[in-house]
Structure 1
């Protein structure tokens, strides 16, 4: 794991949600944009695109998927 990607929790208060890894983004799924976060891979893939692991909530379901840059928008 890269040093800059590590997260350290020094204090977690009762009732506080854990921090969400990644950067805020919108994820395109089912012709809609859903708020989520993305953690990018370290380098482009052979297809020339950036890929990342996204976490987003679609309705009440929390999804984790790997998506390319074409399905994501920075927030």
Structure 2
């Protein structure tokens, strides 16, 4: 994945519920969607609930903007 593009959080282009994304988990990227939280957390990062398929199972986890990329 040589040309990884950051997924833009809500303050940069407006929230998009269920926005397509790639989710970083266990050193691999998985196709999924993200729903951003309404505001940044105290750590200054955007967090969102990502839903994706990993090894045939649907997984829902909360990830920071660092683990989510544009698809």
Q: Distance in 1 between matches of 2:57 and 2:37?
A: 24
| Shift of residue 33, structure 1, vs aligned partner | 0.3
Q: Distance in 2 between matches of 1:58 and 1:29?
A: 9
Q: Displaced runs of 4+ in structure 1, greater than 3 A? A: none
Query: TM-score when scaled to structure 2?
Result: 0.75
Structure 2 spans left out of the alignment, 5+ residues: 1-14
Higher relative CO (Cα under 8 Å, sequence separation at least 6) belongs to 2
- What secondary structure, in the 3-state scheme, does the structure 1 residue paired with 2:66 have? helix
1:1-75 maps to which residues of 2 (within 5 A)? 22-75=18-71
Count of aligned pairs between the two proteins: 56
Structure 1 spans left out of the alignment, 5+ residues: 6-20
Q: Distance in 2 between matches of 1:31 and 1:53?
A: 19
Query: TM-score when scaled to structure 1?
Result: 0.71
Root-mean-square deviation (CA, aligned residues, Å) is 1.3
| Shift of residue 61, structure 1, vs aligned partner | 0.8
